[in-house]
A and B are shown apart, each in its own frame.
Chain A
Amino acid sequence: MDRRDFLKRTITIIAGAAIPASALEFIDPKRLLAAGSSDYKWVFLADTQKCVGCGFCVKACKLENEVPYDADVSRTWVERYVICKDGKMRVENGMPNPGFGINADSPKAGRDGFTTPQIDIGEGRHVEVKEEDISKAFFVPKLCNQCDNPPCVQVCPVGATYKTADGVVLVDRSWCIGCGYCIMGCPYGVRFFHPLLKVAEKCNFCYHRITKGMKTACVQSCPFGARQIGNLKDPNDPVTRTIMYGRVGVLKSEYGTKPQVYYLALDREVR
């Protein structure tokens, strides 16, 4: 071994030793064990019969969570479904419709409620279903399903979104790179980019409120009790009792996401 080789090897060894073991540590089992299990498991119950489409929930949500009021995105929204007796979608200006379509809308995410029978079909166009043609019509509140298997969390490349011990999916605004993969991964269209912060944004059951013993802003502002939040780990919680003993549905169970927003009076037409 000459001097040159010796130097080279020495440098190699020093460099190798300089890498702390923690640099290679991606999964720490100790941390996993240290995290205490929570007494809470937050779930949501929405009643589509009770919902009148007033949109107070959306208004309250936007103000409570500082989502720019006029921006066309929202953590929660209300959808309207108007199903016709002939099972078809209404035609506007004689233009054929895609057949499988439904008469549904959520103008401004339902922020200002539904004050007209005119259904918004995009690009400033509307259709109206006559009262006598309606077979069924109702409103559906939507928000993040806080899935037990959240696909949005699975696909985050940097660990900027995660599920808490009490079952809520949160976004780390200081770590999100804004790739949009989570937005693509959510089958419910819940996520969006915050117009000012430029990071992924979503409903988190008003985490700052529920952890203080308050109801979410949307639950509190609903005059009709169409929205309720509950703790699945409390057997006496009325929401828990409804989910346990009543007939409830969830949205898009076929994706295997195990959504935690339960619905009463859900219909097959709900998307």
Chain B
Amino acid sequence: MSHVWRPLFVALALVAGILIFRTFYVPKDFGVGEAGYMYGWHNFTNEKFWKEIKVKYQGSGQCKECHRENFTSIQKTPHGIIPCENCHGPGVGHPGKIAKLPIDVNRLLCLRCHAILKYPNSDRGKIRGIDPATHQDPNVECVTCHDPHNPNLGVLKKSPQRFPVYEQESKKEGRTAK
């Protein structure tokens, strides 16, 4: 056989080497799924990986089991639509490892909905809102006066008179409810 073919043999040996290596390296479950080769070429065991990710947000139904009183009372108010975990944090590990869930009482949490934005094509425009810069003392948490579980403005925890700005502002701006 002519020497001319020798580089070809080397090339073929390389290709064979790669193909043999491939049989050992590629996971056994690699193949074409239901979506076809273009959209479904993958390792089937990976689907299991994603299904087994731990759930963190348990849902308010879980909270109801122990905190029935709080759960039912908030249902009667406009805040009944807010899932417990939005303010109390994800319930994973509670009541086991985490005895008490940390409650987010930051003013910014309430402002997510109640900072006034008069947007005509969004239900945001219909939510009662305040101007965060002028409503009372920006350093005071909303829960000082307002009860998030009973956001009725008629039953404030603290009298608005304690904050003199309030009267003037509500007259001037006409924004704050009541």
Q: Do chains A and B touch in the complex (CB under 8 A)?
A: yes
Tell me how far the C-beta of A18 lies from the nearest C-beta in chain B, rounded to whole angstroms: 7
Are A64 and B56 in touch, CB under 8 angstroms? yes
Are A22 and B121 in touch, CB under 8 angstroms? no
Tell me how far the C-beta of B46 lies from the nearest C-beta in chain A, rounded to whole angstroms: 4
Known contacts A28-B31, A170-B46; is A52 also within 8 Å of B16 by CB?
A: no
Are B112 and A56 in touch, CB under 8 angstroms? yes
**Contact residues of B between 1 and 44, Cβ < 8 Å to A:** 1, 9, 12-13, 16, 19-20, 22-23, 30-43
Known contacts A52-B127, A165-B33; is A134 also within 8 Å of B55 by CB?
A: no
**Contact residues of B between 45 and 59, Cβ < 8 Å to A:** 46-47, 49-57, 59
Bound CA–CA A111/B140 (angstroms):
22
Cβ of A248 < 8 Å from any Cβ of B? no
Cβ of B115 < 8 Å from any Cβ of A? yes
Known contacts A112-B112, A115-B111, A162-B42; is A15 also within 8 Å of B16 by CB?
A: yes
Per-residue CB proximity of A158-170 to B under 8 Å, as 1/0? 0111111100001
Which chain A residues lie closer than 8 Å to B19 at the CB level? Answer: 19, 23-24
Are B35 and A53 in touch, CB under 8 angstroms? no
Bound CA–CA A139/B17 (angstroms):
56
Are B117 and A114 in touch, CB under 8 angstroms? yes
**Contact residues of A between 32 and 72, Cβ < 8 Å to B:** 32, 35, 37-38, 48-56, 59-60, 63-65
Bound CA–CA A116/B138 (angstroms):
14
Are A208 and B40 in touch, CB under 8 angstroms? no
Cβ of B148 < 8 Å from any Cβ of A? no
Cβ of B149 < 8 Å from any Cβ of A? no
Are B38 and A153 in touch, CB under 8 angstroms? yes
**Contact residues of B between 67 and 109, Cβ < 8 Å to A:** 81-83, 85-86, 89-90, 108
From B30, B55, B89, B111, contact of A208 by CB (8 A): B55
Per-residue CB proximity of A118-140 to B under 8 Å, as 1/0? 00000000000001001011110
Are B32 and A116 in touch, CB under 8 angstroms? no
Known contacts A165-B35, A217-B57; is A139 also within 8 Å of B122 by CB?
A: yes
Question: Which residue of chain B lies nearest to A111 when distances are taken between CB atoms in the complex?
Answer: B112
From B41, B81, B83, B113, contact of A159 by CB (8 A): B41
Bound CA–CA A112/B86 (angstroms):
12
Known contacts A138-B121, A204-B50; is A175 also within 8 Å of B16 by CB?
A: no
Which chain A residues lie closer than 8 Å to B47 at the CB level? Answer: 164, 170
Are B33 and A137 in touch, CB under 8 angstroms? no
Of the 9-residue stretches A86-94, A185-193, A220-228, which lies at the interface with chain B? A220-228
Per-residue CB proximity of B103-143 to A under 8 Å, as 1/0? 00000100111010111111110010000100000000000
New contact pairs (11) apart from A28-B32, A220-B59, A221-B85, CB-CB < 8 Å: A24-B19, A31-B31, A32-B33, A38-B34, A49-B122, A113-B112, A159-B41, A159-B43, A162-B35, A164-B47, A175-B43
User: Interface of B with A (CB < 8 Å)?
Assistant: 1, 9, 12-13, 16, 19-20, 22-23, 30-43, 46-47, 49-57, 59, 81-83, 85-86, 89-90, 108, 111-113, 115, 117-124, 127, 132
User: Interface of A with B (CB < 8 Å)?
Assistant: 5, 8, 12, 15-16, 18-20, 22-24, 27-28, 31-32, 35, 37-38, 48-56, 59-60, 63-65, 82, 112-117, 131, 134, 136-139, 149-150, 153-154, 159-165, 170, 172-175, 204, 207-209, 211-212, 214-215, 217, 220-221, 223-224, 265, 267
> Which 5 residue pairs across A and B have the least CB separation, nearest first?
A113-B112, A162-B42, A208-B53, A137-B119, A52-B124
